[in-house]
Amino acid sequence: MSLDIQALRESFTLVAERAPDLMRRFYEILFDRNPALKTMFGRDMRAQEEMLTRALAAVIEHLEDGPWLADTLRALGAKHVGYGVTEEMYPLVGEALLAALWEVAGDAWTPRVAGAWADAFGVIAALMIEGARDAVTYDGKRSSEVPTPKTSSQLSR
């Protein structure tokens, strides 16, 4: 899938100029639609909003750098396992993000822009989910907690 980089960057710039606090609105929408998710977050939502803003800006900045996106988003997905994020939560987050972007973009939220963001979030979610799956092995243990199997030469010692 090829992302519409121009539409993503132009709309992100527009939205960032119109609503520097976009992520506050995103979380309002997310928690209004999914109140149970609020318990996953601490009290300092300002810091959370800033982290998400920086992360999204970094993704937009690196849209042409596939290896960076893949490595970064897979690592982010693996990290989110520790926060209790499940695969079922990604669509909920995507819907809230797209709703916040649409709300701020207003008339600039064209079918092209909507499609570009839906495609982009699909790629972001897929890479994060891949990282999360790689981080978790059998019995719910993170790969770092699973003992490395001994080789036959180690067993014969």
Structural domain tally of the chain? Answer: 1
The answer to whether the beta carbons of residues 107 and 41 sit under 8 Å apart is: no
Tens digits of pLDDT across the chain (157 residues): 689 999 999 999 999 999 999 999 999 999 999 999 999 998 889 999 999 999 999 999 999 999 999 999 999 999 999 999 999 999 999 999 999 999 999 999 999 999 999 999 999 999 999 999 999 764 456 555 544 444 444 444 4
The answer to whether the beta carbons of residues 134 and 78 sit under 8 Å apart is: yes
Q: Which pTM does this prediction carry?
A: 0.83
Let me know how many helices (H) and strands (E) the chain has, helices first.
7, 0
Burial of 155 (0-12, 13-18, 19+ CB in 10 A): exposed
Q: Does residue 72 lie within any of the structural domains?
A: yes
Structural domain boundaries, residue 71: 5-133
Q: Does residue 12 lie within any of the structural domains?
A: yes
